[in-house]
Amino acid sequence: MKYLIIGLGNKGEEYTETRHNIGFKVAEKIAETIDAPFKSTNFGWLADGKYKGRRVLILKPDTYMNLSGKAIKFWVQKENIPLENIMVITDDLALPFGTLRMKMKGSDAGHNGLKSIQEELQTQNYPRVRFGISAEFAEGKQVDYVLGVWNDEEKEKLPERIEKFSKACLSFVFAGIQNTMSAFNGK
């Protein structure tokens, strides 16, 4: 069985430590956990490894957030991966910092990365896990906040939260989405 885990983010040093790149950070932790190094390839960086006997591909698209769907569609088709075997990791303003919310399907909720995926895959029916980044910004400052760096309190808690999300994604691979949602949602 094959799985594709996609961490959403933006390429470039200026985005590395931003809230919008949390998907990349979680993807990197998953790849480190299963000892699968990233290699530059079509539409991004791909790590290819095994977890409990299952093949796991981990993708960090280099298309920028707003065109993430192109990379995902390419790899889903190339590797012939059913949509129920993909997991998209993204940031979410509607959730308090560090909150984990995994779903089997759902709307894009205004997130440009999810909007691109929906357009390319022609469906909202794919698993995703959302990392709460909260909405601690003044009116009209959403872009600055999302593309801003973590504050000191968030930086302190980030390693533990990234670890939790990594474990949730690997649980999805082995235990399935229903069991994983029961075990991890809201934690």
> Which two tokens mark 51?
């977890």
Check 19, 20, 101, 130 and give the catalytic one.
20
15 among the known binding-site residues? Answer: yes
> Chain-centre distance of CA 156, in angstroms?
20
User: Active-site residue 20, yes or no?
Assistant: yes
What amino acid occupies position 164?
Answer: K
Give the containing element (helix H, strand E) for 46.
strand 44-51
112 among the known binding-site residues? Answer: yes
64 among the known binding-site residues? Answer: yes
End-to-end CA distance of the chain: 28
Asked if 114 and 130 touch (Cβ cutoff 8 Å), the reply is no
What stretches of 52-186 adopt beta strand conformation (E)? 54-61, 86-92, 100-103, 128-132
Asked if 98 and 76 touch (Cβ cutoff 8 Å), the reply is no
Annotated binding site for tRNA: 15, 64, 66, 112
Catalytically annotated residues: 20
